[in-house]
Amino acid sequence: MNASLKVALLMVAVIVGFLLLREHWDHVAGKWVYLLLLVCPLMHLFHGHGGHGAHGKPDDKPASRE
């Protein structure tokens, strides 16, 4: 899939999301606290845990100067 198709699909998804949110704002606004509580575990679930560069691995120690 080329880059222009990805950008076009992303733009369509944003527009559809905006229109859905605008039409159903009364339903969403009453439940924003629950949506926030739902987002927290989802962020922990989908967070990438490999982005910190493997701190503290035993083979990362500098070589001795003997």
User: What does the alpha-carbon distance between residue 32 and residue 28 come to, in Å, rounded to a whole number?
Assistant: 6
Domain containing 16 equals 3-45
What's the structural domain count of the chain?
1
pLDDT value, residue 15: 96
Does the predicted model carry a pTM greater than 0.85? no
Question: What pLDDT does 59 receive?
Answer: 61
Report if residue 32 sits inside a domain.
yes
Residue 54 belongs to some domain of the structure = no
Q: How far is Cα 33 from Cα 35, in angstroms, rounded to an integer?
A: 5
Per-residue confidence (pLDDT) for residue 22, from 0 to 100: 92
pLDDT of residue 53: 58
Q: Residue 35's pLDDT band (boundaries 50, 70, 90)?
A: confident
**Nearby residues of 17 by Cβ (< 8 Å), 6 or more positions away:** none
pLDDT at position 12, please? 97
pLDDT above 60 (res 6): yes
Asked whether residue 28 is domain-assigned, the answer is yes
Q: Are 21 and 28 in contact (CB under 8 A)?
A: yes
In a domain, 65, yes or no: no
Which segments of 1-66 are extended strands (E)?
A: none
